[in-house]
Chain A
């Protein structure tokens, strides 16, 4: 393993950005005196950058290792059918999480890129019949003007510049012409003219 790769992994671990592989690489190399020295130097550099208090040469790893060795592992207690069931449950919830994640991932991407608003933790809880009604806890925090605030398509030259505003207006005007739902489609169409 190259020295450089290890140093990169060390840095990643320190920033809490290491993946599983990097973490293992670092753990297997941490007994090495050189690696420990590098780790220690990184910590000093980081503390200096963050203006944190640092006690140099404080190494509590031996004490922690000893503490872990003394501890009774809770896993050893639970053998038998429950363990299998537990594994099944974990597998099931991972499946659910993956399925949910696929959907959320797509939504996140959209919301992040398009709405340019604060992303709130997904709160699907809809109100029941009680109290002052609000469909969802939307936030009106900093509504930094999104990419769409001032114009439809900055940075999009050419065809879209010519066609999209027309399409947007045509859609809004046609909807307003339908004459249903009162004044809302009219207001949408009017707001397009205000840009």
Chain B
């Protein structure tokens, strides 16, 4: 008999909780839409341990095209122009091996996928850049990713503020608008880059160059992370074959670089730069030693485990 008074409580709990989570998921869906459909201009700051910078963004959605123009306002004028998610020009030099054409279509915020790895909750309201914002927290369900706090504009759904937090609650990075304008119409001039923005060569044209086969794979990955791109290239300086792999869980991302080394001078290393961790491990394979470097926005213990789980398929198959 004692169970009966509890029953309504349990039932109401069932009803209330999913509704709450749904609300937060709806917010994320709205965010994904807003990033594709909302024209706006604004100024934001980016902060991580040891670095603080201010940037301006103009985004115009017209004729089914999303044009994004980004410009750093302090220090060197870092500039990027993107059309429909494909980078058109950048100031500064791109690293060797960076491909301007996404291997896979850019995935927008997939709230359903994210909810497998993050506990998505609505957490009240706040005020950012003079605008009312709804707060959504993404708390990781395991220790292999960081927590995120998003403040989404209640009018448009755009992200006004985004914080990355370690499992101890330490702030790893901050992205925050100081000013956002969604009503002003954007002129062509605002969306055209300066002369310093160098056009990005479309790597697709070079695709007739035979791509090196990627022989490395991971024995273990944190749950939810999938391979999003893989490439192998000859490094022009060292003449070594460098394999690069990129994985993501829909939000967090890490890269794995593998490069053969000889000599005993190279040691293991682990280091952290704001939200980004870098772990280098020397791995012995039948074909010789290799340095496996994991770089990404993931906890250092996870990066270490990934580095130790990389296997050379070519080495094992040739042995058999």
By size class, the interface of chain B is 35 or more
Q: Which listed residue, B75, B106, B244, touches A180 by the CB 8 Å rule?
A: B106
B255 touching A103, Cβ below 8 Å: no
Distance in Å: Cβ of A155 to nearest Cβ of chain B: 10
B95 touching A169, Cβ below 8 Å: yes
Complex Cα spacing A107 to B143, Å: 10
Chain A: interface residue total (CB-CB under 8 A): 73
- Please give, as numbers and ranges, the residues of chain A lying within 8 Å of B265 by CB-CB distance: 158-159
B50 touching A176, Cβ below 8 Å: no
| Selected interface stretch from A8-16, A46-54, A58-66, A108-116 | A108-116
A183 touching B86, Cβ below 8 Å: no
Q: Which listed residue, B20, B80, B166, B280, touches A115 by the CB 8 Å rule?
A: B166
A129 touching B122, Cβ below 8 Å: yes
Interface of B is mostly: strand
Interface string of A153-191 (1 = CB under 8 A from B): 100101110011011111111111111111111111011
- Please give, as numbers and ranges, the residues of chain A lying within 8 Å of B273 by CB-CB distance: 148, 152, 168, 192
What is the total of A-B residue contacts with beta carbons within 8 Å?
234
Known contacts A191-B46, A194-B53: A132-B126 contact under CB 8 Å: yes
Closest partner residue, chain B, to A195 (CB atom): B51
Q: Let me know if A136 is at the binding interface, CB within 8 A.
A: yes
Known contacts A126-B139, A190-B55: A111-B49 contact under CB 8 Å: no
Pairs across A and B, CB under 8 Å, 29 listed? A113-B270, A120-B168, A123-B168, A128-B123, A132-B125, A133-B126, A133-B137, A136-B165, A138-B165, A146-B49, A148-B274, A149-B50, A159-B266, A163-B259, A164-B269, A164-B280, A171-B255, A172-B276, A174-B246, A177-B87, A179-B84, A184-B162, A186-B70, A187-B44, A187-B53, A187-B175, A188-B275, A190-B72, A191-B51
